Amino acid sequence: MGTVTVVRGEAELYERTAHLFAATEQELLCAANALRTWTGTHPRTGIARHRPGLRVRKLFRLSTMLDPRWGPHARIMAEHGADVRVSAHDVNETIVLDGRVVILAGDESHGARSYSVITQPEVVHGITSLFEAAWRSGTELAVHEADMDELRAFAPRVLDALNKGWTDATAARALGMSLRTYRRRVAELMTALGASSRFQAGARARELGLV
């Protein structure tokens, strides 16, 4: 019979799960929406330190890959043998260990972040299936980085136009683009930022220091 245990803060999570990470032999799955979610979880070993024979798959959220800290982090993971993909959608922040244990990052609104450590087989299976679905729809890191190089080339100018409140026609003329191209660039930028509106795209860009 499996269990669900809720812990508070990364220090307690480390103390309660270090032995589970040490016992992981076949595969570690990791999904993250924010760089800091898991980086402090295992201060002595770090989830980046991959043992021979252990397959590691990491799924990162597209919008946060615009943060300049993320690109190097993802490349380091890949250089250490991890399979890395990027998702255009929000992902549940999750770690799965050998298909036996799931760790879900939870709420931060009431102090230290909660983490749920789950060993109940039916729940582990269901969460793993969700990860696999997100993984299949993700973009491989090399393809993502090529797309990001193009995005970074036009993102500041498009964001500036959005912040100035220009009409699409005015912005397209100022940037030397066709109206169709400008609108496509805006849509691409909103997708990369995980924004549902142009206002939200501007706010998210400010959070990441893009404007």
Return the DSSP state at 51.
P
Residue in the block written with tokens 């998702």: 87
The proportion of the chain whose per-residue pLDDT surpasses 70, expressed as a percent, equals 86
Sheet holding 101-105, edge to edge: 4-8, 114-118, 101-105, 94-97, 27-32, 55-61, 83-87, 139-140
Residue 196 tokens read as 């549902």
| Cα separation of the two ends of the chain | 52
The proportion of the chain whose per-residue pLDDT surpasses 90, expressed as a percent, equals 31
Residue in the block written with tokens 């993984």: 135
The per-residue pLDDT for range 23-35, each reduced to its tens digit, is 999 999 999 876 5
- Secondary structure (DSSP) of 89-109: S----EEEETTTEEEEE---T
For residue 154, report the phi and psi dihedrals to the nearest 5 degrees. -115, -15
The per-residue pLDDT for range 81-140, each reduced to its tens digit, is 889 998 877 788 999 999 999 999 987 777 788 899 999 999 999 999 999 999 999 988
- The mean pLDDT value of the chain amounts to 83
The per-residue pLDDT for range 152-166, each reduced to its tens digit, is 778 888 988 988 889
CA distance readout (Å), 66 to 1, 106, 150, 155, 189:
42, 23, 12, 10, 10
Helix axes 168-175, 179-193, angle to 10 degrees: 100
The per-residue pLDDT for range 73-83, each reduced to its tens digit, is 778 888 888 89
Amino acid 146 reads A
**Rounded Cα gap, residues 107 and 64, in angstroms:** 19
Return the DSSP state at 66.
G
The alpha-carbon radius of gyration of the chain (Å, integer) is: 19
68 — pLDDT class (breaks 50, 70, 90): low
- State yes or no: pLDDT of 45 exceeds 50: no
